[in-house]
Amino acid sequence: MKIPGLLAIGLVIVISSGCATSSGQDAAEEEPTTPNMTTSLNLGVSADAILAEHGKPLRKRGRIDSDGGKLEDWFYLDATLSFKDGNLHAFRPR
C-alpha cells in the first residue's frame, strides 16, 4: 500500500517540475529565419529583396493569370508568399 502511494507522489512531482520549465520561452526569443507575420514584409516588395533576406524557398509554383500576369507562389516552412509580376502580392502563414 505504501509503494503505490509513493509512486503517485513521485509522478506528481515529476509532472509538476516538467511543466515549470521555460524551454518554450527560449524558442520564442530566437530570431526568425523564415517569413512570418512579425517580419517586415510589405506588399509590393520585390521577390529579389525577399530572396536576399530569407533565402531560397522550399518549393516554387508558377502560373499565368487571366490578364497575362505572371503569378508565383513560394513555399517556406511556415509561410506561403504569393508574387504577381515579381512583387509580393499576398502572404499566408501555414
pLDDT digits (tens, 9 = 90+) for 42-84: 889 899 988 988 889 999 999 998 888 899 999 988 888 999 9
Distance (Å, rounded) from C-alpha 4 to C-alpha 9?
9
pLDDT digits (tens, 9 = 90+) for 12-44: 777 776 665 555 555 555 555 554 544 567 889
Cell of 71: 503569378
Give ∠ CA 57-74-31 in degrees, rounded to 5: 50
